Amino acid sequence: IIESIPDASYDPNPNAVYPVLVLTRYHVAPGRAADFLAYVRGERSAAVKKGQTKRELISRVLFGGDNNEFRIASFEDKIGALDSPSPVTRALGADGVAKMVTKLSGVVLSSDRTVWRRVDAMSIRPKPVS
């Protein structure tokens, strides 16, 4: 079971369908969840918006896994977009990202990233929000 963290997520166009999902899983040190949440709600959230992210949804594993695991799902229009700088890098520049990420030292134990491609014929889509 995962819990959505809507106040840290960014979804300016909830009816849009994006075919590429980049899922980053962060494994946070025990007792440091509040620090990680402050990071994603604060400086990182501002950079995500400034960098014109299409959509970014943040969640936390509650049951059935590591409850110190947070997931950030970012969406793109095409695979080729992954060759460009990330929205956070566009907003802060490489040096700004390096400075921001140092704040996670001792907070994040590990992370991994996977890329998923939507196949419309095999996908279920809820009705658009009006």
CA-to-CA separations, 35 to 41, 56, 58, 66, 69, in angstroms, rounded = 10, 19, 15, 17, 13
Residue type, 20: V
The tens digit of pLDDT for each residue in 7-32 reads: 999 999 988 889 999 999 999 999 99
Rounded Cα distance, 74 and 58, in Å: 9
pLDDT class of 130 with cuts at 50, 70, 90: low
The tens digit of pLDDT for each residue in 38-85 reads: 999 998 999 999 988 999 999 999 999 999 999 999 999 999 888 998
